Amino acid sequence: MSTPKERIIATTFELFAKQGYNSTGINQIVAEANVAKASFYQYFKSKEDLCVEFLNVRHDYWFNELNRFVSKEKDMKLKLISCFDFLIEMNQKENFRGCSFLNILSEIPMDNVKILSVIQNHKKDLRNYFSELIKDSGLSDHIYLLFESSIIESQLFRSNELIEKSKKIIINLIK
């Protein structure tokens, strides 16, 4: 059985994905997570603090899943292509929800440094992931941009078509 904190985070993921950050209130999270309001405030001082924790949990989950998926491949080129296959798997698993970080970014004011810094760190980690994988900063930045645009386009059009096209571009870039 999950803890109240785990239920709050799981409920937050579902509600943020369905309604967005701004349209989701603490009362709804508490009700749907089936926890007491006091339990919520035991773990989080505010919705903003919940969002930071949610993003940190999401970051760890996402990178663990990416690493698990990509680790099946031994060759660097196949690992890169596998990253895009991972996006397809995540779209199927999460019904084209897109990137939690970018979804929340679109809803917060840019002076919300607390949440913004978590989002920026996630994206820096992703850029670094590609840099470590390919060891060519120019090429890894191109791959990062293809990856990010593939996430956005697949969410927007609820299709993996651009991911498949991005994979073909990657194959041509790393020949």
State pLDDT tens for residues 73-113.
999 889 999 999 999 999 999 999 999 999 999 999 999 99
**Residues 139, 170: Cα–Cα separation, whole Å:** 10
Residues 75 and 140 in one domain: yes
User: Residue 137: is its pLDDT beyond 90?
Assistant: no
Exposure string for 31-64, b = 16+ CB within 10 A, e = fewer: ebbebeeebbeeebeebeebbbbbbebbbeebee
Residues 151 and 164 in one domain: yes
Residues 29 and 100 in one domain: no
Give me the CATH number covering residue 88: 1.10.357.10
Residues 5 and 76 in one domain: no
Domain that holds residue 3: 1-44
Q: How many domains does the chain have?
A: 2
DSSP H or E segment with residue 48: helix 47-70
Residues 20 and 67 in one domain: no
pTM of the predicted model over 0.85: yes
Residue from 74, 70, 79, 72 nearest 134 by CA: 79
Residues 24 and 106 in one domain: no
Residues 11 and 73 in one domain: no
